[in-house]
């Protein structure tokens, strides 16, 4: 019993901050930050899939950037644009299930800040609903406090995708064609 009292009085007060810190670290590692974006687009799943995977179509709503890949599971992809100073991103296609789901691991390369964030994951899920589709884009495996530069462009990208598919027009908001010609 006296050893327990010594522990409780002298040791436990020093161990508590360590235990709390490890508990917080465990929570952060087990619950990475994710950003979820959902939009409804009046189009067919095949047409939406094509808009996501065709480099020329993608450049119309993705800041002018093209994504090049053979779109098979495990294959690489690269993102670039003629007006960009270099490669804008690269990664792997982790899951390819046309026209329902695309999961990619990506490293953003468009700036030193984005590059320093390391790999993240992007999941595109297409669900047909009547004459439309619900597109859910989940950008996760982000570290807590990750730069908004990684995920802040999704609303503009998805708005541009919706605009192009439903009207055939380009979204002309400032920055929507950052690396393209307007």
* Structural contact between residues 56 and 159, judged by C-beta atoms closer than 8 angstroms: no
Residue 29 pLDDT exceeds 60: no
CA distances from 166 to 98, 104, 135 (A): 21, 26, 14
Span 129-148, mean pLDDT? 96
Rounded CA-CA distance 143/81 in Å is 27
- For residue 45, give the nearest of 166, 133, 159, 122 by alpha carbon: 133
Span 116-120, mean pLDDT? 96
**Lowest mean pLDDT: which of 7-11, 54-58, 82-86, 162-166?**
7-11
Q: How confident is the model at residue 166 (pLDDT cuts 50, 70, 90)?
A: very high
How confident is the model at residue 83, as a pLDDT? 81
For the stretch 40-68, pLDDT in tens is: 999 999 999 999 999 999 999 999 999 99
Residue 155 pLDDT exceeds 90: yes
Mean pLDDT of the chain: 88
How confident is the model at residue 13, as a pLDDT? 61
Rounded CA-CA distance 160/97 in Å is 23
Global pTM? 0.80
Residue 160's Cβ-count burial label (10 Å; 0-12, 13-18, 19+) is: buried
- For residue 89, give the nearest of 110, 103, 75, 68 by alpha carbon: 110
How confident is the model at residue 182, as a pLDDT? 41
Residue 32 pLDDT exceeds 50: yes
């Amino acid at each position: 019993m006296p050893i327990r009292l010594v522990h409780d009085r002298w040791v436990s007060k020093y161990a508590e901050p360590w235990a709390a810190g490890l508990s917080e670290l465990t929570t952060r590692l087990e619950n990475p930050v994710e950003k979820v974006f959902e939009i409804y687009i009046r189009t067919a799943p095949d047409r939406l899939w094509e808009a996501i995977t065709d480099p020329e179509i993608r450049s119309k709503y993705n800041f002018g950037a093209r994504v090049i890949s053979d779109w098979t599971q495990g294959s690489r992809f690269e993102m670039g644009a003629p007006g960009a100073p270099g490669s804008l991103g690269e990664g792997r296609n982790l899951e390819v299930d046309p026209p329902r789901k695309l999961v990619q691991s990506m490293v953003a390369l468009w700036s030193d800040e984005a590059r320093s964030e390391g790999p993240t994951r992007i999941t595109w899920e297409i669900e047909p609903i009547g004459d439309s589709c619900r597109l859910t884009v989940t950008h996760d495996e982000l570290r807590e406090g990750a730069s908004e530069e990684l995920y802040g462009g999704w609303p503009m990208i998805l708005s541009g995708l919706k605009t192009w598919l439903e009207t055939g027009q380009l979204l002309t908001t400032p920055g929507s064609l950052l690396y393209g010609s307007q």
